[in-house]
Amino acid sequence: MTSTDDMVYIQHGDIKVLLQLYPEPAIQARDAVKHFVADATISTEMELFAAFLEHCVKNHPAIAPIILDAFAERFDIRPNAKDIHEAVNEHALDKGGVQRVLRAFYSLWDDISAQHHYRRRATDDISSALLSSDDSHLMAMFGGLPSGSVNPIDEAVWLFDVYRPILGDYVANISEFMHTESQDPRLAHAYPLGLDFFKWLTYPDSMPKASYLQSVSVKHAAVGFTQFLQIMVLYKTLGLAPGELVDRFKATTTDY
């Protein structure tokens, strides 16, 4: 029989989350709830649960892995079955909701003991009926330059916010390389403010004006940078090595 001492209630307006935990974690979780303030834009149970998970990661790390397990159980997230991206898609969240939920889920990426249960491992035995023919193959397609006044690093900003535990070191290293290269005397005239993407993503107030980001040389560099991030997120969340990911595709193209 379930005891009320094992239950933890989280409520935001009409949205409710009910956690059933062991007594000691339940005590800690109830204390975390006391200090939890939900963002006014939260509109679904999944978002509220994710926001509480992120709150615990930042302020109550001892129980964060337990809350992650409860989150995964509630939304049926299982390795090599349903991953977090599929679960998010099922709930038809808006862009802000998707960002909030994925950021919370991956906030424990560096905690192997917490995350290894949910790290998907793409296997060859999971295939689409559409690709059952020997004449059918996968092709990777890279997007081209954003049109109009779209900030060319908007997507990189989103990716870095959501997947920062996965991307952080890589962004720091590749940004250092690109920024150093942009200062080469042969290139410096095209990059007067350099290409310090890590600084721009970490400290948004340091972001150059749109006119600089929209310049052809910077825009091309930003698109390439973003595509590197997309590839890393893809192979990391699929549990593949870079070479294994490449082997899945028989061709690549772009819509440049």
How many whole angstroms separate alpha carbon 57 and alpha carbon 37? 14
Gyration radius of the chain over CA positions:
21
> What pLDDT does residue 183 have?
96
pLDDT tens-place values along the chain, 256 residues long: 345 668 999 999 999 999 999 999 999 999 999 999 999 999 999 999 999 999 999 999 999 999 999 999 999 988 767 889 999 999 989 999 999 999 999 999 888 666 666 666 555 444 555 445 666 677 777 766 666 657 889 999 999 999 999 999 999 999 999 999 999 999 999 999 999 999 999 999 999 999 999 999 999 999 999 999 999 999 888 888 888 888 888 887 766 5
CA-wise closest residue to 48 among 85, 9, 80:
9
> What pLDDT does residue 130 have?
47
Helix/strand/coil (H/E/C) assignment for every residue in the chain: CCCHHHEEEEEECCEEEEEECCHHHHHHHHHHHHCCCCCCCCCCHHHHHHHHHHHHHHHCCCCHHHHHHHHHHHCCCECCCECHHHHHHHCCCCHHHHHHHHHHHHCCCCCHHHHHHHCCCCCCCCCCHHHCCCCCCCEEEECCCCCCCCCCCHHHHHHHHHCHHHHHHHHHHHHHHHHHHHCCCCCHHHCCCCCCHHHHHHCHHHCCCHHHHCCHHHHHHHHHHHHHHHHHHHHHHHCCCHHHHHHHCCEEEECC
> Model pTM greater than 0.75?
yes
> What pLDDT does residue 79 have?
73
How many whole angstroms separate alpha carbon 80 and alpha carbon 209? 43
How many whole angstroms separate alpha carbon 224 and alpha carbon 197? 12
> What pLDDT does residue 125 have?
45
What do you get for the CA distance between the two ends of the chain, in Å?
61
> What pLDDT does residue 1 have?
36
Cα angle vertex 128, ends 126, 130, to 5°? 160
